[in-house]
Amino acid sequence: MKQSQLFTKTQKEAPKDEVSKNAQLLIRAGYVHKEMAGAYDLLPLGFRVVDKIKQIVREEMNAVGATEFLMTSIQNKNTWTDTNRWDDEIVDVWFKSDLHAGGQVGFGWSHEEPITAMMKNHIHSFKDLPVYVYQFQNKLRNELRAKAGLMRGREFIMKDMYSFSIDEETHNVFYNQAMEAYTKSFERLGLGDDTFITFAAGGAFTEFSHEFQTICDAGEDITYINREKNIAINEEVLNEKTLKDLGITEDELEKVTTAEVGNIFNFGTEKCEQMNLYFDGPEGKPIPVHLGSYGIGITRVMGVIAEKMSDENGLVWPEDIAPFRIHLISINADIEAQDIYDKLQESGVEVLWDDRDVRPGQKFADADLIGIPHRVVISPKTIEAGGLEYKKRTDADANIISESDLFQLVK
């Protein structure tokens, strides 16, 4: 894409009311626009990053045999009364609105109840199980405080997956596969080293749930980790019993601030019993379905990466989720740049070409702020020196490479 066609402008300053580092950077670089606290539009650059995050997660969910679908935001009051979660005293993040036709609707902060209700149309017999489905859905939550930028939204994109299983054993098999798929996803998203499978509070059915917590100063959670033993415990369940169960002592643990990027929850048969989702077992006896719920905060992941992977000059995207792979900067060499741009596009390399009529200094500053992994400069000076100036976003120094070197690099 030519940067002259990208309508977003970089900004020296973020809006004064924006206190979070991730949103400040993402706004300044033109990835998002703030509609209000906790609600950010995805501008073309941000849209591309989110699309790549989604695609990585999609591939991993498909790999464990789950099927994509999409539920509505608008939800029925009735769906939530069986589990008592329509009540604002119990769920304090509902957005609700009166329906002109009478009655009320809620806007989906979660889809556990609607998906369970829907499955009553499709699950009747043990032959209909298991079911694994997922969606990328816009959650809406009436958060009292939303000061963490993309990391706590009133509106945010979540990948939510649901498993419906015949019994505990098959449930556990998929639960573990999902856990592995999550681990792979966070590795591919560039967060592998700092993301820990964390024991957290369970529910009526299980002692623990599993959270994926990423070390991040701007996170809202406190996690106790042991890197060697690969154990992590959410502060909320750090007690003698947990330590004993996990065979670890408190002084072996390091206290870190983390952001919850994913979670996995085992409802057992509790929710399906409450909502009357039973199947006919082999002998015709009604048996309640086992439900698992598996979330990844897609836009939160973008926020966490912006928060963690940046320096004083701007964003530093991991290779696989950067909006473009190459930032091509031309300085008085438009014809030569056009040629390289065309060749890169033909090779399927995503390239942003800064073809704007602005000072070189601004081009370099914008490139640092936008944070595309590979920067390539072409100018009469680089041509004279033998080709192109190449620099990784993470490198301090640039060096001259030939055109064929470049194509080797990005192959």
* Contact set with its own copies (CB under 8 A): 1, 5-9, 11, 33, 35-37, 39-44, 46-47, 50, 65, 67-76, 79, 92-93, 95-97, 99-101, 105, 107, 114, 118-119, 121-124, 127-128, 131, 133, 138, 140, 142-146, 154-155, 357
Which C-beta is closer to its own copies: that of 187 or that of 350?
350
- Smallest gap from Cβ 321 to its own copies, in A, equals 16
Nearer to its own copies (CB atom), residue 99 or residue 201: 99
Shortest spacing between CB 12 and its own copies, in angstroms: 12
- The tokens for 38 are 């906790």
Q: How far is it, in rounded angstroms, from Cα 407 to Cα 345?
A: 11
Of all helices (H) and strands (E), which one includes residue 273? helix 270-275
Report the C-alpha gap between 385 and 341 in whole angstroms.
20
Min dist. Cβ of residue 161 to its own copies (A): 13
Q: Find the radius of gyration of the CA atoms of the chain.
A: 24
CB 206 within 8 A of CB 171: no
Least distance between its own copies and beta carbon 1 (Å): 8
Rounded CA-CA distance 276/82 in Å is 9
Which residue lies nearer to its own copies by CB, 146 or 367? Answer: 146
User: Which residues, 6+ apart, have CB-to-CB distance to 63 below 8 Å?
Assistant: 181
Complex with its own copies: residue 104 or 239, whichever CB lies closer: 104
Closest to its own copies by CB, 93 or 179: 93
Least gap, CB of 328 to its own copies (angstroms):
18
Coil, helix or strand for 238?
Answer: coil
Q: Residue 5 or 402: which CB sits closer to its own copies?
A: 5
Query: How near is the Cβ of 127 to its own copies at its closest, in Å?
Result: 8
Min separation Cβ 348 and its own copies, Å = 16
Task: Quote the CA–CA distance of 191 and 362 in Å, as a whole number.
Answer: 31
Give the separation between CA 367 and CA 23, rounded to whole angstroms. Answer: 18
- Which one, 44 or 202, has the nearer CB to its own copies? 44
- Tokens 């299980």 locate to 206
Q: Under a CB-based contact definition with an 8 Å cutoff, are residues 387 and 407 in contact?
A: no
271 conformational bin, left if phi > 0, alpha if psi -120 to 50, beta if neither: alpha
